[in-house]
A and B are shown apart, each in its own frame.
Chain A
Amino acid sequence: MRTCTYKNDQIGPDVQGGNRGGTNTSLVSRDDSAQNIAAGQCVSPGSLRSTRQVLFAFALLLVSAGLYGAPLEPAASLEQAQRQARQYMALPPAAAREFALGLGSAEAAALLSQVRTIARERNPDVDRLAYLIAQLESQRATELAQLRLNNLLLVILLTVGLLGAFLTYMLFAQRQALSRLAKVVPKEGPKQTAGEVYRG
Chain B
Amino acid sequence: MSAKVESDLPKIAIRTGSWWWELLFGLFALLLVPVTYLALTYPPPLPAQGQAHRIFYIHVPTAWIALYGPCVGAVAGLLYLQTRREVYDVWSLASTKLSFLFAISVVISGPIWGSTEWGTYWNWKDERLMSFFVLLMCLIGYFLARYLTEEPARAARFGALMAVLAALAAVLTWFAIRVTDPDTHPPSVLGSMSPKIRQTFWISVLAYHLLFLALLRLVVRQEWLGRWADQLESEK
Contact = CB atoms under 8 A, between A and B. Distances in A.
Bind each other: yes
Interface of A: 104, 144-145, 147-149, 151-152, 154-156, 158-159, 162-163, 166-167, 170, 173-174, 177-178, 180-181, 184-185, 190, 192, 195-200
Given A148-B51, A149-B51, 8 more contacts: A148-B52, A151-B52, A152-B51, A174-B221, A174-B222, A177-B229, A180-B229, A192-B14
Which DSSP category, helix, strand, loop or mixed, fits chain B's interface? Answer: helix
Contact of A196 (B15, B211, B218): B15
B17 interface: yes
Interface stretch (B101-109, B125-133, B172-180): B101-109
B189 interface: no
28 contacts: A144-B50, A148-B49, A151-B52, A151-B112, A151-B113, A154-B112, A155-B58, A155-B109, A162-B101, A166-B101, A167-B215, A170-B222, A174-B221, A177-B229, A180-B233, A181-B229, A184-B229, A190-B232, A192-B10, A192-B14, A196-B10, A196-B14, A198-B10, A198-B225, A199-B18, A200-B17, A200-B22, A200-B221
Interface in B18-54: 18-19, 22, 36, 47, 49-52, 54
Interface of B: 10-11, 13-19, 22, 36, 47, 49-52, 54-55, 58-59, 62, 101, 104-105, 108-109, 112-113, 115-116, 211, 215, 218-219, 221-222, 225-226, 228-229, 232-233, 236
